[in-house]
Amino acid sequence: MDKNIEILIVKFLSKEANLEELRQLGLWINNPNNQILFNQYIRTNSLVNIGFERFKGKNVKGIILKRIKEESGVQGIVFSSNNMVRYAAAVAVIALSTLVFVQYNSRSDEVTVNPSLPISTTSNIETGSSKATLILGDGSVVPLEEGIAFRTQNANSTGQKLSYDTDKDNRVVEKVYNYLTIPRGGQYQVRLADGTEVWLNSESQLKFPVAFLDDEIREVELVYGEAYFQVSSSENHNGAKFKVVNSVQNVEVLGTEFNIKAYRDESNVYTTLIEGKVQINAGGNEQLLLPNEQSDVAIVDRKIIINEVDVASEISWKDGVFSFKGKPLKDIMKVISRWYDVDVIFENKALEDVKFKGILDKTLEIEEILFIIKSSSINNYQIKNNTIILS
């Protein structure tokens, strides 16, 4: 491989390539023979997953080459059914500090990426962050933001996590409820008084007691949105079960980890079990959920369907990444719109059903996300105020 091309690839991976260099690399990759060379380059050098690392300093190439030598396997690269590396998508996405984002195409395995497209950073759209609103039992409203500490009589916030006291010597005689509301463009974590950890995604609301009564079911309500629960075992609470309720279903557990997605603009509620066992109850229908299974409850008739799923993909949001596996662009843009607090308009309705597979870093700017999507499928996009128009 030409040394200049190798330098272009390394600069592209490290996000140091300028527009002209991106154009040069794009022209080179468009040659089918060079596509083969790039596949061989990846296999030969065992390209590593550098998706979430920001390489700083002048010797970027040396750092990447050192990582290549240290790693023995190919990670972060998507293979098709015939094991061909999705070269163009891999380059485009890793260059933007992501993993991989490729288009599913029913007619072809080819992925078209145009790395010569400039990345505009002129919009005022901000990446999501840790923020929430806490409503106390007396109706007081407290904004919770990153970097701002807060303390009540029985809870404190670091700016990223809200924690309730677990002092068992304080006997609770009456339940007092708090509401934690996460806006679009936000996320937050709360540790309940029983030690249960809850991660709340954008546009979500959780209702919960400040403390739990002894010998009673520990019940919270996911009013809407998405939450990941790491439940304190019933063995630590005299056998008291834990229950998550909403308007569609009840989820009863003994001690486990699971995710519930119940957004107001979706027609189904999804519960994904990571560990333990949970019982799903919806409109008189009951189903036991086992690890790596997801229940799909239709809001209209409360019918429960159980599917096996990729758990890591379903809960990746809480660990700072978007993971899409065969998701249509319409669903992907719903997730994007919540995190970046934007509206999305599809001028080309056919784009709604285009399916993608990949993983994206949630710290990316919105322009970087759109750059990747445009490289794969859409003809163009516009950002007007807080609205994204796809065409």
**Alpha-carbon span 96 to 99, nearest angstrom:** 9
pLDDT at residue 14, as a whole number: 53
Q: Name the pLDDT band for 122 (thresholds 50, 70, 90).
A: low
CA–CA gap between residue 21 and residue 365 (Å, rounded): 21
Q: What's the pLDDT tens digit per position in 150-180?
A: 898 889 998 889 999 876 555 566 789 999 9
Cα–Cα dist 329/217, whole Å: 40
- Would the pLDDT of 291 be above 90? yes
Exposure string over 60-91, b if 16+ CB within 10 A, otherwise e: bbebbeebeeeeeebebbbeeeeeebbbbbbb
Residue 135's φ and ψ, nearest 5 degrees, are -105, 120
59-71 per-position pLDDT tens digit: 433 433 343 334 3
> What's the one-letter identity of residue 137?
G
The three-point CA angle 7-29-40 to 5° equals 75
Q: Please check the confidence at residue 46 and state whether its pLDDT lies above 60.
A: no
Residues 6+ apart with CB under 8 A from 133: 141, 142, 143, 144, 180, 181, 183
49 vs 95, 272, 298, 320, CA distance in Å?
11, 27, 38, 16
Q: How confident is the model at residue 372 (pLDDT cuts 50, 70, 90)?
A: confident
Q: Which of 66-80, 172-186, 237-251, 359-373 has the weakest average pLDDT?
A: 66-80
- Among the listed ranges 21-25, 195-199, 318-322, which one has the minimum average pLDDT value? 21-25
Spans of all domains in the chain: 1-124+334-391, 129-309
The answer, yes or no, to whether residue 110 has pLDDT greater than 90, is: no
Rounded (5°) CA angle 135-136-141 = 45
Dihedral of alpha carbons 374, 378, 383, 386, sign: negative
| CATH of segment(s) 129-309 | 2.60.120.1440
At 63 the pLDDT is 38
Token reading at 382: 């516009």
- Which of 17, 204, 180, 177 shows the shortest CA–CA distance to 95? 17
Q: CB–CB of 116/329 below 8 Å?
A: no
CA distance 167 to 195: 11
pLDDT of the residue at 385: 86
Taking the complete model, does pTM exceed 0.85, yes or no? no
